Structure 1
Amino acid sequence: MAVRNEERHIELVLSSLLQQKTTGWDIEIIVVDGDSTDATGDIVKRVASYDSRVKLITNKHRKTPYAFNLGIEKARGEYICILGAHTRYANNYIATCLDELKLHGVAGCSGRVIVRPGGDSLQARLIAWTLSHPFGTSSGSMRTRASGFADSIPYPLFLKSTVVSVGGYDTALHRNQDNDLNQRLRAQGHKLYITDKTCCEYFVSKDLLSLARYAYKTGYWNIISVKMNPASMSMRHFVPGAFVLALSLSMLVAGYSIMTHAQSWMSLPLILLVALYSLVCVTASWHTAWRERSLEPLLMPLSLFLLHAVYGAGTLSAILGNARSPSSH
């Protein structure tokens, strides 16, 4: 489990892992800390002092793929789990993923992801609803994906030798390293599976500013990722960028038509794009409001637009700046 400055979540996550049901096998929990400046390390050390299954090692590089590779190297088991610190796991998560991996003859298996708010505020709830809705992150996202064979799996259990055989995680990818690894596994003929027999709860950003930071960095790194391994990315990763580009161009055309008194039809693309996007946003928010029996989700168009616009801006910024991984220079 790669962590950095996770004092708010780390004890809850460790508790859920230490309560995992194990039958005929042992578990070790390797927490790879990227030089946290908060109390994360102290909390892990305290837990490890009364449960020897927990181990703490330091990742001086501070980047996620380095942490995963370091954990894989240190892991003694035949099987490994790549887990997140913002997630609470059902007590049958690892055992069920192991059983399903063997049953379906796959290289990796994970459970379903249930999105939870990262706090008690309205902003946190809006973010959770946005990221768990197919219009927010697509039906292929780890937060909305159905069970069955998949191209990429969240919080997976792998056969360790299989991951090692494809070279582990690409340390030049500070994001999307999971998509890259999963694609390389599939390219070698391996299959991946998501089971609905177990699940984990993923706690998302607690405020809209954090969501914006996440969206921009993700959109930005999508361009770097597609340059490094085109097959690891799909069209859905670039829809927000196309949306922002179309919106920007249609606004320029509409503005030009107004300033020059040109044909009125030149404003039509902007009107149609805004109307269609607004209609889908409102439909998604009403659907969520009905499900939650609350009027709060009717504010979702704000968080949906923020996610899509900032995500898309990150993608366009990376294209204009010819972005490359700092690790690949």
Structure 2
Amino acid sequence: MIVKALEPQTFSDSLRRAGHEAESQLAHYLKRAFEDDPYKFVFNNLRIQRRDETAQLDHLILHRCGLIVVESKSVAGEVAVNEHGEWTRWWNRQGRGMPSPVLQARRQLDLLGALMQKHETELMEKGFLGLRQRTLSGMRRDVLVAISDGGRITRKLDVPEVVKADQVPDRIRETVEQARKQGNFYFTDTELHRVRDFLLSRHVPTTAPTQSQTADAADMPLSPTTREAVGNPALGRTPDAPAAPRADATAPASESQEPPRCRHCQSTDISIEYAHSYYIKCARCGGNTPIKVSCNECDAPARLRKKGAEFRVVCAAGHERLYHTNRV
């Protein structure tokens, strides 16, 4: 099931355009493979924040046993991995070192896992007669690096995470089946839908960078000075970058958030209603969706505050953001 589609974007810079085309290509493969699968949830271009860190996940698959992050790379020439695990990109017969996209994807997954761990009691049910809290400790966490169909891969070291883009759906199926057979962890139906809704609610959209920000990111460290650095010709992809420092606790948080959706049909044509607690009422299918909110600035528990037709998320530290406005 496609939970978050890849947003169409237009880039005047050819490098960023190539990177977006690689993501679009893989999003197409994932849609064709999993659009009708009720137990594999696909998120494209999911951008999450935890405290002062940001991770932009090209593609995330939530399945019964865990998570798979897929890092999409646009490669016009060749990438090589030597026996030490060091990566080199080749373009116009010139080689240049580059950060490992496998490690990059693992850092993204680590941040996402830490965010979920923070909200473990909200996401997981209680097992054994409701007396023992289930945890995320055994959740399967995998990464894949998808090289665009036109690129070449040379390996002196076996890197099983690296595959061509058209091979990704089959590799995902193999990974999920392997996890199922191991039987170490599984989400219940309720937990699976809670995690799906939680991830969607944590998406923080970003504006497209300007032309002046298209520096070569291959040689830049992951530091606050490179938060908008742009990928190189072989990769066409921006590396992860930390978010800007948090605003003062008394200032309202950013209003730019993924809109609340119906958990049944994913429609945003909804209203906030109240019966014992606030919930989402879908105008399209009539379904009800419980509301769980937390502060995107400090991860603290939060509550909804109603003011006229507006509903705002407010935490104890004073951070505040608009959640939804009902039509009057």
TM-score past 0.5 threshold: no
Q: TM-score, normalised by structure 1?
A: 0.23
Q: TM-score, normalised by structure 2?
A: 0.23
Relative to its length, the structure with more helix (as a share) is 1
Max radius of gyration: which structure? 1
Relative to its length, the structure with more strand (as a share) is 2
